[in-house]
């Protein structure tokens, strides 16, 4: 999955899609995930970074990452690609 | 660099809930560091807020309503020009444009510059002819018909699915969900704007508007697309955000090339969920939110003044997406003596 290049993500968790004018707010962990995706990290790499930073069950993280990426694609902030 | 001293007359001072573009145009002009300006406001009503905004408009003159015709307008403009030595006039109302266009040769003789389309271009893009323009040049326009009597509604029902959009000849639009609503809107719009009433296919999607400037030869001098974030019950944008979408710029370039548009314009677009662009309307002048273009890096009104004065300028090539406007209302305090002056003398 690839986050669209034009998407702006702030550290406070505000997302702006300049193509559609839509904006969203996300929590701190989601903002971190988006930052990593903006750095062109794969979902597998994102998962490793989150596992290192947070005390979280791998299975639970897998499910959450899957849901989050599906949602990003649904609202056209991301598109299918590697991962 | 020395600033150019200019006296510019601008109309559309009605900064109300359904605002004219005048104040936005003036604010953009005042932002331009190349000009030393005296702004003359042209108003129709004594209570147009711009008349009382003395830090925006230096002096205001009432002008005759467009229905009075171009001769009345010429007489009034001659008087204003004799007093103010105008360099440029920027009309900003759809309904007044035809009269101003008729006066272009006279204004030219007086040495007053304008930058407007010709009558043929103006007519080709009005509500009555937009569908033909779209067909000729390959733009998607919602299916449109014109009705002059209620007996035609049944024919419309064969051609269109509900809901349908019912529009006035000049302004206003309603969404009709059944025959009864069409009839009710037909009467309302006929009483206000006359016949015919426009029936249009309903297109669902996101409303996008593009403000632009054409140089009259087919080149786009600048274009800023914007999505309205908050729309009032009158259908006016109360907030909007500048978008970044190359497809919208390409559409604008295609429109300017096809129409050889001269002057400012606004394209109203509906983007469907499938990403298809329908042109809903072309407004033959800058929109009320035009100051946002200056804030985003393309001061289109200032560029238009330079073109009007015969200056060679380069087209804008970039802008800042994400610039937003949020409109607000403000109680401007004046005195009855000012209202008295504009009412009795037609000047303030």
C-alpha dist (Å) from residue A33 to A1, A50, A51, B55, B214: 12, 8, 12, 49, 44
pLDDT digits (tens, 9 = 90+) for B326-335: 999 999 999 9
CB contact under 8 A, B245 and A8: no
* Per-residue confidence (pLDDT) for residue A24, from 0 to 100: 94
Is there a shared CATH topology between the B122-126+204-326 domain and the B143-201 domain? Answer: no
* Per-residue confidence (pLDDT) for residue A5, from 0 to 100: 82
B260 has pLDDT over 60: yes
* Per-residue confidence (pLDDT) for residue A83, from 0 to 100: 53
Taking CA–CA distances from B320, the nearest residue in chain A reads A18
pLDDT means per 10 residues, chain A with 83 residues, are 85 91 93 91 93 94 94 86 57
The B-side interface with A (CB below 8 A) comprises 206, 226-227, 229, 240-245, 321-322
A10 shares contact with chain B (CB less than 8 Å): no
**Which of B154, B159, B142 lies closest to B182 in space, CA to CA?**
B154
CB contact under 8 A, A21 and B229: yes
> Closest to A18 (Cβ–Cβ): which among B229, B240, B321?
B321
pLDDT digits (tens, 9 = 90+) for B144-194: 888 988 888 888 788 888 899 998 887 788 899 988 899 899 999 988 888
Confidence category of residue B22, pLDDT binned at 50, 70, 90: very high
* CATH no. of B122-126+204-326: 3.30.470.20
Fold of B4-114+331-345: Rossmann fold (3.40.50)
pLDDT digits (tens, 9 = 90+) for B72-127: 999 999 999 999 999 999 999 988 999 999 999 999 999 999 999 999 999 999 88
* Per-residue confidence (pLDDT) for residue A82, from 0 to 100: 52
pLDDT digits (tens, 9 = 90+) for B189-218: 988 888 899 999 999 999 999 999 999 999
**What is d(CA B206, CA B326) in angstroms, rounded to the nearest whole number?**
19
Q: Is the peptide bond before B126 cis (omega within 30 degrees of 0)?
A: no
* Per-residue confidence (pLDDT) for residue A81, from 0 to 100: 66
**Which of A59, A75, A53, A5 lies closest to B321 in space, CA to CA?**
A5
CB contacts, 8 Å: B206 with chain A? 20-21
What are the structural domain ranges in chain B?
4-114+331-345, 122-126+204-326, 143-201
Q: Hey, what CATH class is B143-201 in?
A: alpha beta
**What is d(CA B318, CA B316) in angstroms, rounded to the nearest whole number?**
6
SS3 B256: helix
pLDDT digits (tens, 9 = 90+) for B266-321: 999 999 988 899 999 999 999 999 999 999 999 999 999 999 999 999 999 999 99
Smallest CA–CA distance, residue B245 to chain A, in Å, is 5
* Per-residue confidence (pLDDT) for residue B160, from 0 to 100: 82
Answer whether B301's CB lies under 8 Å from B90's CB: yes
- Beta partners for residue B61, in sequence order: B42, B347
Look over chain B and give the mean of its residue pLDDT values, rounded to a whole number.
94
Tokens (6 digits) for B157: 């029902």
Q: What is the pTM of this model?
A: 0.89
């Amino acid at each position: 999955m690839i986050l669209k290049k034009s998407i702006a993500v702030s550290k406070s968790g505000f997302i702006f899609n300049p193509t559609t004018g839509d904006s969203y707010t996300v929590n701190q962990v989601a903002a971190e995930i988006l930052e990593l995706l903006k750095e062109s990290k794969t979902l597998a790499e994102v998962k490793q970074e989150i596992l290192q930073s947070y005390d979280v069950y791998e299975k639970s993280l897998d499910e959450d990452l899957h849901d989050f990426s599906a949602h990003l694609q649904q609202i056209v902030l991301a598109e299918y690609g590697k991962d | 660099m020395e600033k150019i001293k200019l006296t510019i007359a601008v109309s559309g001072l009605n900064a109300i809930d359904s605002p004219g573009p005048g104040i936005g145009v003036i604010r953009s002009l005042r932002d331009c560091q190349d000009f030393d300006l005296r702004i003359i406001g042209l108003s129709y009503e004594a209570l147009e807020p711009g008349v009382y905004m003395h830090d925006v408009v230096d002096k205001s003159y009432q002008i005759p309503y467009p229905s009075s015709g171009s001769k009345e307008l010429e007489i009034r403009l001659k008087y204003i020009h004799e007093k103010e030595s105008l360099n440029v006039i920027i009309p900003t109302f759809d309904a007044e444009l035809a009269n101003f266009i008729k006066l272009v040769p006279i204004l030219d003789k007086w040495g007053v510059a304008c930058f407007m389309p010709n009558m043929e271009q103006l007519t080709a893009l009005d509500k009555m002819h937009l569908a033909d323009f779209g067909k000729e040049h390959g733009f998607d326009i919602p299916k449109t018909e014109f009705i002059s009597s209620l007996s035609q509604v049944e024919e419309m029902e064969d051609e269109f699915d509900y809901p349908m959009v019912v529009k006035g000849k000049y302004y206003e639009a309603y969404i009709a969900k059944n025959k009864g609503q069409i009839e009710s809107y037909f009467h309302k719009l006929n009483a206000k704007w006359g016949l015919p009433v426009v029936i249009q296919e309903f297109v669902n999607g996101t409303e996008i508007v593009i403000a632009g400037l054409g140089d009259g030869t087919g080149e786009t001098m600048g274009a800023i697309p914007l999505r309205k974030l908050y729309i009032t019950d009158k259908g006016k944008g109360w907030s909007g955000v500048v978008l970044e979408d190359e497809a919208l710029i390409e559409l604008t370039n295609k429109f300017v090339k096809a129409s050889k548009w001269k002057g400012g314009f606004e394209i109203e677009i509906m983007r469907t969920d499938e990403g298809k662009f329908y042109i809903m309307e072309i407004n033959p002048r800058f929109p009320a939110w035009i100051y946002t273009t200056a804030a985003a890096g393309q001061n289109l009104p200032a560029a238009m003044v330079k073109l009007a004065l015969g200056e060679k300028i380069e087209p804008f090539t970039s802008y800042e997406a994400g610039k937003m406007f949020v409109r607000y209302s403000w109680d401007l305090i004046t005195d009855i003596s000012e209202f008295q002056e504009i009412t009795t003398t037609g000047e303030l």
